[in-house]
Chain A
């Protein structure tokens, strides 16, 4: 994997440590005293002192880890933090066999694998330092970020002599999911292919199987919650649909009161008691009738007569024997087909001719109400279910492990 280690003693505190990069390492930090050392040749000079408790790594990358990139195992041997106060990013140096290097980048949660490359066609320096576009090897990239930074912190080993405050210019450019990075100083300019990776992909690179397992478990749990939310949403849709079919309407209406005297005269030809506007809608009608019948009336029937000639039977009563001033109470439910229309409430009856004794007039008290539609109940239920589903979706979103922020794609069509 990496080169043979080189043992040395810190010239500041005397602590012994090994340089994993071997001769490749030019700068190293002593983990005991924080000294930054020039280890390119003896005597090793102390370049500075670092507070190792500051500028700690924010992600999961650590020195000493094995990073497998493109099937090659590298060792993470160094870190450099670049930026200015309040804004910074980390670049981790990984050393592989035969001196190969690759970099892992961490920038505000965005992770990347960065490979140094030599473009055959490089942009002019003026274009690198200004302008919205860069042409690298015939491909146009849109500048995403450009600026200057300085070395804020060093940890582990680096392959050049680095010290705090060293200045570097940088530009990041993208095209679709492709990214290139350029960093330069007065002496050198380097090009990088920047491959954004997700957190899980970085864990796979670093072989952090525990984190991968926990991540997958969280994803599964979130998926389960999301599925429950989807079922709830489906049930919501069904309830709402049922509510529509059964008829909505949350308020009672169409209450019709009728009080009408009944005279026996004309009863057998149909007595119009009154009129009511009734019609198809959500729900059914309930008619409650209280009929005081003259004792000489039997076979009475209440019905609704529409303008189109339709007749809706409401209540029918057959009395075998006339009874003196019988009172009949009844309730029935019926549905009125068709659009809303005016109906006549008609009382048909049969007067028993054998009864000769004069009978007082009867009376019918009638109440027609529109039954509270079950459909509205279903709609209420669907609203509750919808709220539950939204809550579940929110819970699924909270439970789902977050992933990296990937760069916005740039395409030629955007020109």
Chain B
């Protein structure tokens, strides 16, 4: 689907039907995609030019699945930042590559079917029930959306605060994010950067 940036008019080529937010590559205006329209959300921070080997537009293979990276979100927390690369898979699904200082986790969003403990009640080192999984909490803190690029499957306002907790259950990585528009649960696996084969 092709749209135009509501700020500068540059073309916005949407790569997937699940895209809900896109950042204009020319003027960094973030636009929410709804009903085939692009509504401006505000300027996204220009992300620091970094040396991550992941790129928006990258195509490759990971664990036997073809992928392409459609977008990136950067979250800033007290001790630094991490990136979440919105990834489209060749089997039609989508997910995220969570990149925290070089530690990569391949995640896919899960539907929250049962109540999750409140963020304030969770502590590091604790085991909490999330649905049918007992999750060991490894990290919890607050962050805010610093900015993004490309296209994303979630509507996020730059500067929006989130609370998050990362943990593990049954050998899988579990990530919880409490934001203004609700709770997001992602489950996945940690991967070695060498598992990503880049085609382009």
Q: For residue B138, which residues in chain A have a CB less than 8 angstroms away from its CB?
A: 118, 122, 188-190
Q: Does A124 contact B (CB under 8 A)?
A: yes
Q: Does A28 contact B (CB under 8 A)?
A: no
CB 8 Å contact bits of A24-54 with B (1 = contact, 0 = none): 1010000000000000110000000000000
Are A122 and B80 neighbours in the complex by a CB distance under 8 Å? no
Partner of B102, one of A99, A120, A162: A99
Q: Does A251 contact B (CB under 8 A)?
A: no
Partner of B168, one of A40, A100, A118, A160: A118
Partner of B141, one of A3, A24, A187, A189: A187
User: Of residues 78 to 113 in B, which have CB atoms within 8 Å of A's CB atoms?
Assistant: 78-81, 101-103
Partner of B101, one of A99, A128, A186, A187: A99
Task: Knowing A101-B102, A120-B170, A125-B124 are in contact, say whether A187-B140 is a contact too (CB < 8 A).
Answer: yes
Bound CA–CA A23/B101 (angstroms): 8
Q: For residue A187, which residues in chain B have a CB less than 8 angstroms away from its CB?
A: 78-79, 124, 139-141
Partner of B193, one of A24, A98, A118, A122: A98
Bound CA–CA A112/B64 (angstroms): 35
6 cross-chain CB contacts under 8 A = A23-B51, A24-B102, A101-B102, A160-B101, A188-B124, A188-B139
Task: Knowing A41-B48, A118-B173 are in contact, say whether A98-B125 is a contact too (CB < 8 A).
Answer: no
Q: Does A159 contact B (CB under 8 A)?
A: yes
Are A118 and B125 neighbours in the complex by a CB distance under 8 Å? no
Q: Does A4 contact B (CB under 8 A)?
A: yes
CB 8 Å contact bits of A165-196 with B (1 = contact, 0 = none): 00000000000000000001111111000000
Bound CA–CA A160/B139 (angstroms): 14
Tell me, rounded to whole Å, the shortest Cβ–Cβ distance linking B100 to chain A: 9
User: Which residue of chain B has the shortest Cβ distance to A160 in the bound complex?
Assistant: B79
Q: Does B127 contact A (CB under 8 A)?
A: yes
Contact residues on B (Cβ < 8 Å of other chain), bracket: 20 to 34
Partner of B125, one of A101, A161, A162, A184: A184
Are A22 and B51 neighbours in the complex by a CB distance under 8 Å? yes
Q: For residue B170, which residues in chain A have a CB less than 8 angstroms away from its CB?
A: 120
Tell me, rounded to whole Å, the shortest Cβ–Cβ distance linking A130 to chain B: 12
Task: Knowing A23-B48, A41-B48, A118-B173 are in contact, say whether A99-B193 is a contact too (CB < 8 A).
Answer: yes
Q: Does B190 contact A (CB under 8 A)?
A: yes
Q: For residue A101, which residues in chain B have a CB less than 8 angstroms away from its CB?
A: 101-102
Q: Does B194 contact A (CB under 8 A)?
A: yes
Smallest CB-CB A-B distances: 9 pairs? A99-B102, A125-B125, A23-B50, A98-B193, A160-B79, A188-B139, A120-B171, A26-B80, A22-B51
Q: For residue A100, which residues in chain B have a CB less than 8 angstroms away from its CB?
A: 102, 193
Tell me, rounded to whole Å, the shortest Cβ–Cβ distance linking B90 to chain A: 23
User: Which residue of chain B has the shortest Cβ distance to A101 in the bound complex?
Assistant: B102
Task: Knowing A98-B102, A187-B139 are in contact, say whether A161-B124 is a contact too (CB < 8 A).
Answer: no
Bound CA–CA A162/B48 (angstroms): 20
CB 8 Å contact bits of B108-139 with A (1 = contact, 0 = none): 00000000000000011111000000001111
Q: Does B52 contact A (CB under 8 A)?
A: yes
Q: For residue A40, which residues in chain B have a CB less than 8 angstroms away from its CB?
A: 76, 80-81
Q: For residue A120, which residues in chain B have a CB less than 8 angstroms away from its CB?
A: 168, 170-171
Are B50 and A22 neighbours in the complex by a CB distance under 8 Å? yes
User: Of residues 105 to 162 in A, which have CB atoms within 8 Å of B's CB atoms?
Assistant: 116, 118-120, 122, 124-125, 128-129, 159-162
User: Which residue of chain A has the shortest Cβ distance to B99 in the bound complex?
Assistant: A99
Are B51 and A4 neighbours in the complex by a CB distance under 8 Å? yes
User: Which residue of chain A has the shortest Cβ distance to B83 in the bound complex?
Assistant: A23
User: Of residues 32 to 55 in B, which have CB atoms within 8 Å of A's CB atoms?
Assistant: 48, 50-53
Partner of B79, one of A4, A125, A129, A161: A161
